[in-house]
Amino acid sequence: YDAKRGGGGFALYDGARHAESGTALTLVEELRAGITGGQLVLHHQQQVDMRTGRVVGVEALVRWQHPRLGLLQPARFLDLAEAHGLMDALTDEVLGQAVRQLARWRATVPDLRMSVNLSPSNLLDTVLPDRLAVLLAEVGVPAEALTLEVTETVLLRDPERSRAVVAALSAHGVEISIDDFGTGYCSLAYLRDLSVSELKLDRSFTADLLRDPRTEAIVASVVELAHRLDVRVIAEGVEDEVTLARLAELGCDQTQGYLHGRPVPADELRLDLTPAP
Ligand code: C2E
Ligand code: MG
Ligand code: MG
Ligand code: MG
């Protein structure tokens, strides 16, 4: 090798390129190891029944306790997991933790339900329904106590295959919720054809409800449509009492949001919220 040949410049460029892709690769590799190494933790947020004011469900929301970067929110790593084929492992880990936690809580709150989010690739995983059935049987939690939240966009990827996975999940008795309802490509055919148990009204509707009559018209109509299909409606992102009261008037069945509590680790979650006097 002739050092004066100009190869140094090439080596420098090459090194920089590797360093750059190396950083991204490191985070993926760290995530891969973190998923199996117990670094994923679940935070939980209450879902409150409108009529009784009681906590009837809990949504599990994943976080990554990164050894150097601290507690990472899902926005920091879900896309990475999805892009690098780690979502099956991530979801298995989340479902395992969620179902076990649900079993612990149900020992004192027998009817409590748990909601877990699924990602687009989960609905292409045709073996997920059977793995989940095995988990539920192992832990001793009835499938009916579990709600899986899918977004409208998730169903668009490969509609036929996703429908089959959703059908298999509901055949096992697990409930299906359409998350962030109203923001995606919302096809009424899904509501007709899939066995959906819940619509989760997107936070943007909740946030605009009081100041925008058109939002209110949409919420009122969605609630009526859902109820005619025997589907319950939960509003997400409820942050104040006035919005809660309006949602009650509009017939919304459940609410979730900072008003009741922020997502917290299981041992900090209050399941005994009492309605305001
Ligand atoms: P999502 O399922 O729609 O969850 C609601 C998000 O809104 C959560 O953010 C929650 O912390 C936040 N939130 C709850 N109440 C309020 C409120 O009153 N006001 C406001 N401003 N925000 C509120 P988070 O935990 O950062 O999760 C973001 C998204 O990441 C979730 O949206 C869900 O799509 C996804 N995600 C979370 N955990 C998992 C998981 O285990 N698996 C998969 N595949 N996705 C997950
Ligand atoms: Mg959700
Ligand atoms: Mg949502
Ligand atoms: Mg949302």
Q: What is the pLDDT along the chain (277 residues), one digit of tens a residue?
A: 444 444 433 434 343 444 455 566 689 999 999 999 999 999 999 999 999 999 999 999 999 999 999 999 999 999 999 999 999 999 999 999 999 999 999 999 999 999 999 998 999 999 999 999 999 999 999 999 999 999 888 777 788 898 999 999 999 999 999 999 988 776 788 888 888 999 999 999 999 999 999 999 999 999 999 999 999 999 999 999 999 999 999 999 999 999 999 999 999 999 998 755 5
In the numeric block, the tokens 């009081």 are attached to: 210
Q: Which two tokens stand for residue 180?
A: 């962030």
263 CB within 6 A, ligand 1: yes
pLDDT at 174: 98
Residues 114, 271: Cα–Cα separation, whole Å: 12
Q: In this predicted complex, what is the ipTM?
A: 0.98
255 CB within 6 A, ligand 1: no
Q: How far is the CA of 100 from the centre of ligand 1 (A)?
A: 20
The answer to whether the beta carbons of residues 226 and 252 sit under 8 Å apart is no
Instruction: Compute, in degrees rounded to 10, the torsion defined by CA atoms 200, 204, 209, 211.
Output: 180
CA 195 vs. chain centroid, Å, equals: 18
* Residue with CA nearest ligand 1 atom 19: 237
> 159-171 and 128-139 are packed helices; what angle lies between their axes, rounded to 10 degrees?
20
115 CB within 6 A, ligand 1: no
Q: Is 9 exposed, middle or buried (0-12, 13-18, 19+ CB in 10 A)?
A: exposed
Per-position DSSP letters for 62-118, written without gaps between them: EEEEETTTEEE-GGGTHHHHHHTT-HHHHHHHHHHHHHHHHHHHHTTSTT-EEEEE-
Radius of gyration of the chain (CA): 22
Q: Which of 117, 162, 176 to mutate to test the pocket of ligand 1 (most atoms within 8 A of CB)?
A: 117
Q: Which two tokens stand for residue 77?
A: 């790593």
| pLDDT tens readout for residues 89-100 | 999 999 999 999
Nearest listed ligand to the Cα of residue 154? 1
> 7-36 and 87-106 are packed helices; what angle lies between their axes, rounded to 10 degrees?
20
Residues 63, 46: Cα–Cα separation, whole Å: 17
Q: Which of 58, 59, 61, 244 to mutate to test the pocket of ligand 1 (most atoms within 8 A of CB)?
A: 61
47 CB within 6 A, ligand 1: no
Q: Report which of 197, 150, 154, 152 is spatially closest to residue 173, judged by C-alpha positions.
A: 197
* Residue with CA nearest ligand 1 atom 34: 117
Q: Report which of 198, 68, 107, 82 is spatially closest to residue 146, judged by C-alpha positions.
A: 198
Look up the pTM and report it: 0.91
* Residue with CA nearest ligand 1 atom 23: 237
pLDDT at 16: 41
Contacts of 268 (CB under 8 A, 6+ apart): none
The CA–CA distances, whole Å, from 199 to 84, 185, 229 equal 30, 14, 11
